[in-house]
């Protein structure tokens, strides 16, 4: 009985070892081509300057949630807080393909969704 258990265990270890070695020899090749006339770019993101001025707030900061919008819905890019006057100035790292962002404004009295254009690597909004 003991020999049978040992044989079974060693057989399992042998099969697992063979599977690990077989997986180690697996390889894949990836290639990329450009469309005719397209110029290849290594950068896939850029920094945009953000300047947002909200109307009078309740004196506290507002939470700004920046999202990209795609086929699978919204994807959070970054959260930021305004100062007590409702002003936010900063930089936001954006995927290079975006031409607009969705900004959700959260305060104690307000929740609003804004769609803002990215123009010349900047996002501006004033109420």
Tell me the per-residue pLDDT of 21-67, one tens digit each, with 9 for 90 and over: 555 555 545 444 555 555 545 567 888 999 999 886 677 889 999 99
Q: Which fold has domain 45-126?
A: Immunoglobulin-like (2.60.40)
* CA atoms of 104 and 127, how far apart (whole Å): 14
Calpha distance 67→100 (Å, rounded): 9
Give DSSP secondary structure letters for 8-61.
Answer: HHHHHHHHHHHHHHHHHT--------PPTTPPP-S--EEEEEEEEEPSP-SSSP
Give the start-to-end residue ranges of the domains of the chain.
45-126
Token representation of residue 95: 């995927």
Task: Give pLDDT tens digits for 77-89.
Answer: 999 999 888 899 9
pTM score: 0.64
């Amino acid at each position: 009985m003991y020999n049978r258990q040992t044989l079974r265990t060693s057989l399992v270890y042998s099969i697992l070892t063979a599977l690990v070695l077989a997986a180690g020899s697996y390889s894949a090749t990836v290639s990329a081509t450009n469309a005719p006339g397209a110029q290849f770019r290594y950068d896939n993101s850029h920094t945009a300057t953000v300047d947002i001025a909200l109307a009078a707030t309740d004196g506290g900061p507002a939470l700004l949630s920046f999202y990209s919008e795609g086929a699978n819905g919204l994807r959070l890019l970054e959260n930021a807080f305004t100062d007590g006057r409702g002003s936010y100035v900063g930089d936001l790292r954006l995927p290079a393909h975006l031409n607009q962002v969705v900004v959700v404004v959260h305060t104690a009295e307000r929740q609003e969704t804004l769609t803002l254009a990215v123009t010349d690597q900047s996002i501006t909004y004033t109420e």
